Amino acid sequence: MSTFDTLAVHAGRDGLTEQGVHAVPIDLSTTAPLPSVHEGGLAYEQMATGGVPLEGQSTVYQRLWNPTVARFEAGVAALEGAPEAVAFATGMAALSGVLLAMKSTGKNHVVAVRPLYGGTDHVLASGLLGTETTFATPAEVRGALRPDTGLVIVETPANPSLELVDLARLVEEADGVPVMVDNTFATPVLQRPLKYGVAMVLHSATKFLGGHGDAMGGVVATSAEWAVRLRSVRAVTGGILTPWPAYLLHRGLATLPIRVRAQQDAAHKVAMALAGHELVGKVYYPGLPECDPLGLVGTQMSGPGSLMAFDVESAEHAERIPGAVRLLTHAVSLGGIDTLIQHPAGLTHRPVAADAKPHAQMLRVSIGLEDPADILDDLVQAIESTR
């Protein structure tokens, strides 16, 4: 049994020596040779119905399966402790896959715990994919369940305000309804939700898993049964991850543990300093006791991570700060090697209904690998120069 850090380096690298290579090959083939109509047809059917190619079978067509993507999936499955993982072109494609996979079970209703990433909130609240959603607090989940509820969806830590949800408790409240956890902020380095009886763990792989801001992807770590449903949906929607980003995302896994820990160390210092600054109001960071009332850091999560948010006195001040940073970048996204700052109400959470939108005095920061003293200097000069 390998340790987590060893798995991060080696998972998904099986058979490379036999192939005579050291780095993972990027297989760009959009199509694959077919040995005969009969055998090709069987392989096609195998994958179109949610399977993976059997040993020696043609892979038929990249929309159905790709070996470079499969290596990334094997890596994520190993790190999340899941039997399987299914990779998509983006995090939102993965979420769409999850919702359509739920519909394929004959259920149409979702119970979702806010806050959630704004895009997730939008697709759920709008019903754009034909699902119906009841938003609930963790304590209201049981009461919101209906005979047609197919999923309970939660994100912890939540985007953008870092609320934590007790997953073991939530699974209990879901009363047998499958739970999907967005684990993008925590990563499997800090939190492995499947341990608590969760059915699906979703990542925007664009964030920490890739870690360098240069590859988009989404992935769901889950049971073999859900993986079949997800691949069936992926085959018909064409939402599969492609080989170039799959290679980069897989490469990112090797350094995931050291990046997450180093970014977390820096974030802790930045959060503590911000909390003591006279122009900063509330700091939202799970490492601060007031942000972790259930004591989940140290139990459910091995650490508080590297995302934080903070309030300033006015929306106007908050909107000026991102324009004044020099070292940091004013940009959405998170989890990469460099520090990003953005205004959730104006950007990532723009489509969220007014009564659920983060307030406009809040800014979200994703701490990177720079020296925390430099990050803090830049944040402080941006806050002070725009007051």
In whole angstroms, the minimum distance from the beta carbon of 216 to ligand MET comes to 10
Which of 57, 61, 78 lies closest to 27, judged by CA? Answer: 61
What is the three-class DSSP state of 147? coil
Amino acid in the structure at residue 185:
F
In whole angstroms, the minimum distance from the beta carbon of 215 to ligand MET comes to 14
In whole angstroms, the minimum distance from the beta carbon of 311 to ligand MET comes to 18
In whole angstroms, the minimum distance from the beta carbon of 123 to ligand MET comes to 12
Using only C-alpha atoms, the chain has a radius of gyration, in whole angstroms, of: 21
Which bin fits 164, alpha (ψ -120 to 50), beta or left (φ > 0)?
beta
Residue with Cβ nearer ligand MET (159 or 222): 159
Residue with Cβ nearer ligand MET (333 or 381): 333
Residue with Cβ nearer ligand MET (275 or 332): 332
Residue with Cβ nearer ligand MET (207 or 231): 207
Distance CA 269, CA 252 (A): 25
What is the three-class DSSP state of 306? coil
Distance CA 362, CA 346 (A): 10
Residue with Cβ nearer ligand MET (68 or 161): 161
Residue with Cβ nearer ligand MET (255 or 333): 333
Amino acid in the structure at residue 21:
V
Which of 380, 86, 119, 341 lies closest to 233, judged by CA? Answer: 86
In whole angstroms, the minimum distance from the beta carbon of 155 to ligand MET comes to 10
Cβ-based burial of 323 (10 A; exposed 0-12, middle 13-18, buried ≥19): exposed
In whole angstroms, the minimum distance from the beta carbon of 93 to ligand MET comes to 13
Residue with Cβ nearer ligand MET (68 or 348): 348
Residue with Cβ nearer ligand MET (146 or 350): 350
In whole angstroms, the minimum distance from the beta carbon of 209 to ligand MET comes to 13
In whole angstroms, the minimum distance from the beta carbon of 219 to ligand MET comes to 14
The runs of H, that is alpha helices, within the chain are 4-10, 16-19, 37-48, 67-80, 91-103, 118-126, 141-144, 167-173, 187-190, 224-237, 243-275, 315-320, 372-385
Residue with Cβ nearer ligand MET (156 or 348): 348
Q: Buried b vs exposed e over 355-373: b needs ≥16 C-beta within 10 Å?
A: eebbebbbbbbbbbbbebe
Distance CA 318, CA 333 (A): 18
In whole angstroms, the minimum distance from the beta carbon of 350 to ligand MET comes to 8
What is the three-class DSSP state of 151? strand
Residue with Cβ nearer ligand MET (207 or 250): 207
In whole angstroms, the minimum distance from the beta carbon of 240 to ligand MET comes to 20
Residues that bind ligand MET (CB under 6 A): 117, 159, 204, 332-334, 348
Tokens of 264: 């977390």
Tokens of 67: 């070996």
Distance CA 171, CA 201 (A): 13
